[in-house]
Amino acid sequence: MFRFWIAGLVFAGACVEAAPLTEDSCSVVATNAGEKPTVRDVPGLSVLSLRPDNPLVMNAVDGVTINGIMCWRSEAKLTENDYLATDAGFPLYVRTDYGDESQNRTLALERIDGSFRIRLVSGPGLSAAEKEELKQLVALYTARVADRSRTTGDVTPLSANAPADQPHTISDEKMQAYEAAIAPYVAKAKQSWPEARRRFLAGLPSGHIFFVTTRLHDQQGRWETVFIRVQSIRDGVISGLVATNLQLLQTHKFGDAYSFREDDLVDWTISRPDGSEEGNVVGKFLDTYRS
């Protein structure tokens, strides 16, 4: 038995559409302790009520992986703010329940490597007009995320209790001593990396943010250590968004997309909703390091 809690939801009316659309209920598709995924009721959960200033915040207890959100609506239709469910890290399934299974339809909205995809999971085929409507929704979702990225960097903010970043400047003459000092901590981070990666790929609890640390370089040979908010890990490549305000380099800025090989990882961090964190062994050492 497990429970979910939801924060920050304002139950406003559905957005205005050509035909009124209602949402009867929403549940989660969840896995508990490695069991088969099952649909679990979550009282009060609503996706139709989400707005950009009213995002979805949902946490599950330890041992529970949320694989997706399923909502039953009067029609198998997606709306302009449904992409906000994917912001929370979950695919959205919209389903009808007409009493005649042959007439029921299920649509899935997914965000894979930063791109939106809508697919028909089951039910009657889509008409040409419906396909065009979904195509326009994908374009709308993509434009909204791109616009948000330009203005905010699209990097999820940390808890107010999270430790503040503490930049360090190392002179050339002290670089060798610095590298020797951090080497054991980098080795420790790399040793624990496979388990951290496995947890990310299996799905971290909602509100847990996964960062890795690496070095960015410019053509002058200068470098700067940065946090990358991880979006995907595939074929030995980590992809995400720069989550550090750079002090030296001009080649990248906060919110830029960046990919690098796992071999170039320096450290990893999981930031929890309460501001506590796992990992960051190099960073914690540097907070006390005096060159």
Q: How far apart are CA 252 and CA 153, in angstroms?
A: 12
pLDDT at residue 220, as a whole number: 81
Share of the chain above pLDDT 70, in %: 79
Fold of 172-286: SH3 type barrels. (2.30.30)
Per-residue pLDDT reduced to its tens digit, 2-12:
444 444 333 33
List the single range of 3-12, 14-23, 238-247, 279-288 with lowest mean pLDDT. 3-12
What is the per-residue pLDDT across 203-223, written as a single tens digit (0 to 9) for each?
Answer: 888 778 899 999 988 888 888
Q: What pLDDT score does 17 carry? A: 45
For residues 145-173, average pLDDT: 52
Cβ contacts of 141 within 8 Å, gap of 6 or more: 82, 83, 116
User: pTM for this structure?
Assistant: 0.51
The amino acid that residue 193 corresponds to is W
- Predicted pLDDT at 67: 83
Task: Identify the pLDDT of residue 8.
Answer: 37
Mean pLDDT over residues 52-73, rounded?
A: 77
CA distance 243 to 225: 11
Inter-CA distances, 260 with 100, 167, 193, Å: 50, 22, 15
Q: What is the pLDDT of residues 256-290, one digit of tens each?
A: 888 999 999 999 999 887 778 899 998 888 777 66
| CB 252, CB 215: distance < 8 Å | no
The tokens describing 96, both together, are 């009808």
pLDDT at 136 over 50: yes
Cβ-count burial 221-242 (b if 16+ within 10 Å, e if not): eeebbbbbbbeebeeeebbbbb
**Are the C-beta atoms of 228 and 258 separated by less than 8 Å?**
yes
The region of weakest confidence among 25-34, 158-167, 197-206 is 158-167
pLDDT score recorded for residue 60? 54
Confidence (pLDDT) at 97? 92
Q: Where in the chain is the domain with CATH 2.30.30?
A: 172-286
Residue 86 has pLDDT above 50, yes or no: yes
Between 245 and 151, the higher pLDDT residue = 245
